[in-house]
Structure 1
Amino acid sequence: MQVMNVLLTQQAPAEHWGKADVTYEGQNSVIHLNGADPLRQVQMAARKIRSQGISQVQLEGELWTVDLQWVFAQGFASAKPGYQVGWCGDDAEKQLLEHRLVAATFARKLINDTPEELSPVKLAQQAAQWLTDIGGNNVSYSIIEGQELLEKKWVGIHAVGRGSERPPALLELDFNPIGEGAPVDVALVGKGITFDSGGYSLKSSEGMLTMKCDMGGAATVTAALGLAMKTGLNKRVKLYLCCAENLVSGHAFKLGDILTYKNGTTVEIVNTDAEGRLVLADGLQAASESGAKLIIDAATLTGAAVMAVSNQYNAIFSPQAETIKLAQESAAAVSENVWPLPLDPWHKDTCPSAYADTANSRPVKGGGAGGASNAAGFLWRFVSPEANWLHIDLAAAFENNASALWGAGATAHGVLTVAELLKR
């Protein structure tokens, strides 16, 4: 198969091309930068080229920066295999781009896998194996599954996953390149709901169709850690993946149930479709026990975040202004988009219960106003007050349908931001 060369130019197209920003001549396609937003323009141009049935390209010319090459590859990607982007630039740039591609491809593969292919235990195993292949003897891990979760008092993961015949699981992974006794610098927590039916708060068919993506948080933090390791991470990091299938059965958890968490917090279930925060509560407590200076969790958590920031940004929350600033700087350094949403102490109390310390949502459609902040407030109850904490609601991690910027399916948007945070 012939490879198409893709070049950038700041010159306008020939008159007969009209206002086109992508033109073709033989084996070359040319993207005509117009100065408005080159990153967005190049990503959209990549989608246009891909839509012509072109599957192999080689980037050529001096105008290609690392960021421009990366967004082109993001736009060129699809859920189906069989496409290839050839990098340009010096060897260091090519190696960095290849490391990014390996990590993003791993995240996309996990997220796009069917729910039948990816059970909770398989998610934990695949994440652990991939990171072990990268980190070797610097990686150790354990997988707690099924009834053992209750014995360890990880009640949220167990409750959400007990309706499935395939057991829920918690992956605890330690990357330690420094040596025995080293402090944990960062703890990562990922929501790993491999399929979300909504439980007894059943989703519609339309809402359920893409819920294989509900483990996007787990895929994002795993891929980010792998990328950071590939690019020289030299600090101790712990990873916690909270994995479960949220299904309906005679064993499933129900509305009105009350969970008592390891830290003593009691939670009334008023919506079984607000399950992500229930599993993350366990992961955040485990991360807090590690003594990490910074805790980062990532989750495809709320539709409210998508409504607030669209699917072009990931929403971020933190009680610490300096942590928000660090996240913004990290995202900007790798040309990803984040936007902060409100989180104040009173958000902990926005889901009241007459029977427990808190409810897991509000008993109204969509969780009511401020749903993304209310979810973050719930999670805050399970974070150590000694740790800095960043919560990422991954509004930009998945596209239900192809758009002008992305192919349908996982985007891996957020992987670079978390990997950059790990380096700082």
Structure 2
Amino acid sequence: MKLTIIGGGSTYTPELIDGFARLREILPLEEVWLVDPSEERRRLVGGMARRMFAAAGHPGTVTATEDLVAGVAGADVVLIQLRIGGQAARHTDETWPHEACCIGQETTGPGGFAKALRTVPVVLRVAETIRQYAKPNAWIVDFTNPVGIVTRALLNEGHRAVGLCNVAIGFQRKFARVLGVDHRDITLGHVGLNHLTWERQVFLNEGGIRRDVLPELLATRLPELAEEVHLPETLLALQGTIPSYYLRYFYAHDEVLREQRDSPTRAEAVMAVEQTLLELYADPSVQTKPEILAQRGGAFYSEAAVDLIASLHGDRRDEQVVNLQNNGILPFLPDDHVIEVPAIIGADGVHALPVPEVEPDLAGTIAHVAGYERLALDAAIHGGRDRVLRAMLAHPLVQQFDRAEKLTDLLLAANADYLPWVR
């Protein structure tokens, strides 16, 4: 099997390589290709990946290239993990919204919108090359944020794509630790859009019996669970759910904004970590994943990626949380919208499991953000200030027209180098 990583020069790539090496029994890779425009990143990350495979006794080869066609030619699976503009662009996404009293974040709110505008056109161009040169039945696995918008762009163009996020697998591992069980005994009643999800059930599978233990967890572990997502205990108790951390940008917006204004950006922290990582990757004696890589983010992504690809190619037909087309699962959304829910994964693709009726308050928030996402994708594909303004106004963290106008102008000024139609 040939697997290609677009954006393979990311300092995060060794996390994936570590997962491929550890879990090679369920995902027998013969070739891994890292596609990246940076010669330095290809040299350092590619060299680190080769040493990791060698140290683990993995028989696969690692090839780093800037040639997209060569990288994807004959590929069975292509992972996309692009960051257009790098951490510098992320830093701007996390700061300019503050001028209009909005949170700055790389996937949510105005900053996430900016990332979508920069990213979608590039991903679609890459996907056309994949369509032309990869195997006819190749899968595209999208890690690139905002995952929901990017995955919908791919699916709308007829690509064989699925989106992946680490929020659900992180919760799965957390609940398994709390309950003292193997993570494979936990499945989730996970529902929403990418980075806008709630855990409505936590199923423990014991001896073939599957029961929802979320009420017990909320009754006995409420303070711990609330601290995990940085939200009030009373909110979790009121909803009877565990919101993802990203709901904090909605439920505690002003508090988060104050914190952001008083602290360095996440991009600045990541840039410092990346510099250390690149220095370690340059050291030929480093053959295993550095501990500091955990500070880079993306916990359990490698396990999620291996599980997903192994099930798609090995027809394991197990249950995993992915981003896929709605197709009636959430009746209050259009069929072609991309949602994040549990699905059965097999050789014939990804098939969403039924979802119990969603509570009105949760459904309202999901529908509101979905409306913004549809307008955001239209703006990313077609451009134009009016499209950007309309999408900005539709976002529930914006809404006021004068604020939307100011944010639109700030976004376009900060991203003119990446949006040809702005110049």
TM tier relative to shorter chain = under 0.3
Greater helix percent: which structure? Answer: 2
Normalising by structure 2, report the TM-score. Answer: 0.23
Bigger Cα Rg: 1
Normalising by structure 1, report the TM-score. Answer: 0.23
